[in-house]
Structure 1
Amino acid sequence: MKVLFLGGAGMIGSACADEAVASGLDVTVVTRTEPRRPPPPGVRTLRADVRESAALQEVLGDEEFDAVVNWVGFNPDDLRAHPEVFEGRIGQYVFISTCSVFARPVPQLPVTESTPRRQPVFGYPRGKIACEAFLEEAYRDSGLPLTVVRPAHVYDRTVVPVLAGWTAIERMRAGRPVVVHGDGTSLWTLMHSRDFARAFVPLLGNGHTVGESVNVVSGDILTWDQIHLELAAAAGVRRPLLRHRSSEDIGAVLPGWRDVLEHDFRHSMFFDTAKLRALVPGFAPAVSFAEGARELVAHHDKEPRLRAVDEGLDAAFDQLIEQTDSRPK
């Protein structure tokens, strides 16, 4: 099976390229610049800006593919030409969206593929919703063989899956408090990139997915306190000091966090995985967060340059810890 990745040189795309090659797929990756993560042996790499239809057509010629995966569509202008570029030459067009498109607060849990999509403020999911709407129209009007795939929160050994990143782990190791939004009990779902790839690759070339959307998520549910405690345990800290502050207070001190907390992380999110399990029989996550946390801490501990502390964030945490929650009691 011939598969074309538009982009896909980041954390999730690289894991999927590894899995695709291991599964015997013929993979071509198109990126604008040299990939930050070298593709696995056997992957063909081409250079073009996938948002430029003329450049894309030039590097692809008249080649046909069983599946095309768009990893880098963030607003409709990024992919507006794709229905025309790929007309009649592909079996499936997979758009990588995000589970952040679902309305917050979610009207009913668990989240399914039919949960309402709405985001009037937060730019990233707002752009993804617009992309989904554009491509769905192309599916209805011109027969674009569309599949929408929505990851939730994916991480690997290079990514500490909390907003404070490695700074939080350094503070815990130093016996200093770490700020957690809300009361730490809102529910969240994390998925290791290897598990995402194992669930994702079988969707390629699967005719049952055309015209459908699929949430590719783990069924593992954690609170934000549990996430921090697992990271602390992996870092060798038995009793980390967690301090809870409201999302509003954190956003006032760290404006760059305001939208993601207000419109995403503060809300409980867990998912019904029935559709994914029906399409990929037997799939179950293999990497627990405890294992993933140990892996990422070990990776960072081997590389001193990865363990840098964000001094501005460090000072902001100190400020938040010194102040009391300003919301009315």
Structure 2
Amino acid sequence: MKLLFIGGTGLISQAVSRLVISQGHELYLFNRGRRQDFVPEGAKVIEGDIRDAASAAEALRGHEWDAVVDWIVFTPDQARADIELFRDRTKQYVFISSASAYQKPLRHYIITESTPLENPYWQYSRDKIACEKLLMDEHKASGFPVTIVRPSYTYGDTMIPAAINSWEKPWSIVDRMRRGKPVIVHGDGTSLWTMTHNTDFAVGFAGLLGRPEAIGEAYHITSDEVLTWNQIYEAIGRAAGIEPKLVHIASDFIISHWPDMEGGLLGDKAVSAVFDNSKIRALVPDFKPKVPFAEGIRKTIAWFEAAPERCAVDEEWNARCDRLIEAHERARTAAGG
């Protein structure tokens, strides 16, 4: 197939890009050319900015695609621009939504694609829901060939996944563990979560491309392994050669001091998430997640340690953690805890 990925070098998309190249597809990446290290051999790069509609249309003029995947659509306006740009130019358009769009709080802890979409805590998720509605309405009205994919927490070499970590400098949590400093776990650490390695995600995702049965449908693609957050943090520590010191702080207390965490906690990671992958597996029988978190996080730690410059530490985030832990201890002492 002739494929176009808008982006294609990010945390999730880089694994899909590598896989579709290995499968023999012709892959074009349309992006700003800022992550050349993650462009797989064999991909053709068209440099440009998808947010500049006129220049994007000119850069892509003359092309038609078997599938277009826009990895960086976050708002309805961006989705609407893609509809206009790719209408009649692709047999399939894949929108990357988010599993955080599912109902919060859940009425049932097992999530299927028919679980309602409703997130009162996170604007990011509400925007994804609005994009889904816009695209599905367009599919019903004009036949726009949309497929919706909802990743959950997906990681790879470049991400040390934790509910509370520095996004810009993810090595920070490992550095904190190795220095013997406590790391914050929301709640009591026993809520359930699903971590998905990007190579496992890629198998399910690639299997949707070019499939007429996937048009007008939504799929989540996640691991089948279910872990508690305590187990996740302990696995990160073991991969780093340390037994981490965990301090458990209620999500509400965290948010009272860090309001910017409301979406990521109450709108996502503070809620148990167990996914039924029957729908993706029925269409893509090859989707059989193979990378347990303990193995995947060891590979991630090794990737960071292979180049010291990757192991940058976010000292501002560190100080923020220290202040939150101190505030929590003061509150416990005042309450006689």
Provide TM-score, normalisation by structure 2: 0.92
Candidates 300, 318, 322, aligned match of 1:296:
300
User: What's the secondary structure of 1:80's corresponding residue?
Assistant: helix
- Separation in 1 of the partners of 2:125 and 2:36? 24
User: Are 2:154 and 1:154 equivalent residues in the alignment?
Assistant: yes
Is the Cα–Cα contact under 8 Å of residues 16 and 202 in structure 2 kept in the other structure?
yes
Please give the alpha-carbon distance, in whole angstroms, between the structure 2 residues aligned to 1:202 and 1:4. 15
2:60 paired residue number? 60
Deviation at 1:174, TM superposition (A): 2.0
Query: Match of 2:187?
Result: 182
- Specify which of 272, 276, 282 is matched with residue 272 of structure 1: 276
Which of 247, 254, 260 pairs up with 1:250?
A: 254
Q: Please name the residue that 2:227 is paired with.
A: 222
How much has 1:93 moved relative to structure 2? 0.7
Structure 1 match to 2:325: 321
Matching residue within 233, 237, 245 for 2:238: 233
Q: Distance in 1 between matches of 2:126 and 2:318?
A: 30
1:118-137 equivalences in 2 (<5 Å) = 118-137=118-137
Residues 88/309 of structure 1: CA separation in 2 closer, same or farther (3 Å cut): closer
- Matches for 1:15-30 after TM superposition, within 5 Å: 15-30=15-30
Identity in percent? 42
Separation of aligned partners in 1, 2:45 and 2:219: 27
Match of 2:32 in 1: 32
Separation in 2 of the partners of 1:72 and 1:31? 10
CA distance in 2, matches of 1:219, 1:62: 42
Task: Say if 1:32 and 1:240 are closer, same or farther in 2 by CA, change over 3 A.
Answer: closer
**Is the 1:245–1:320 contact (alpha carbons within 8 Å) kept by the matching residues of 2?**
no
AA matched with 1:303: A
| More deviation, 272-281/32-41 | 32-41
Q: Match of 1:100?
A: 100
1:110-130 deviation digits (Å, cap 9, x = unpaired):
101111101234121111111
Q: Which stretch shows the higher mean deviation, 183-192 or 250-259? A: 250-259
- Deviation digits for residues 224-263 of structure 1 (CA, Å, limit 9, x no counterpart): 10000001111111x3211100112222333332321121
CA contact (8 A) 1:10 1:36 kept: no
Letter in 1 for 2:294: A
Q: How far 1:26 sits from its partner (Å)?
A: 0.7
Q: Which amino acid in 2 is paired with 1:86?
A: F
d(CA) in 2 for partners of 1:37, 1:14: 10
Could you say what secondary structure the match of 1:220 adopts?
coil
Contact 2:121 2:266 in 1 (8 A): no
Deviation for aligned residue 1:170: 1.8
8 Å CA contact retained: 2:122, 2:262: no
Deviation at 1:36, TM superposition (A): 4.9
- Paired AA for residue 319 in structure 1: R
Specify the code of the residue in structure 2 equivalent to 1:103: Q
| Inter-partner Cα distance in structure 1 for 2:33 and 2:153 | 26
Distance 2:182 2:89 in 1: 56
Residue 208 (structure 1) aligns with: 213
1:312 counterpart (311, 316, 319)? 316
Contact 1:178 1:242 in 2 (8 A): yes
Q: What is residue 81 of structure 2 aligned with on the other side?
A: 81
2:238 match: secondary structure: helix
Determine the structure 2 residue equivalent to 1:191: 196
Q: How far apart are 1:266 and its partner, in Å?
A: 0.7
Alignment of 1:1-16 (within 5 A): 1-16=1-16
Q: Are the aligned partners of 2:186 and 2:249 in contact in 1 as well (CA < 8 Å)?
A: yes
> Which AA in structure 2 matches 1:226?
Q
CA distance in 2, matches of 1:57, 1:305: 38
Report the Cα distance in structure 2 between the residues aligned to 1:151 and 1:37, rounded to whole angstroms.
Answer: 24
1:255-314 CA distances to partner (integer Å, 9 max, x unpaired)? Answer: 332321121111101100000110111321121111111111112222223223322322
Native 8 Å contact 2:200 2:287 kept in 1: no
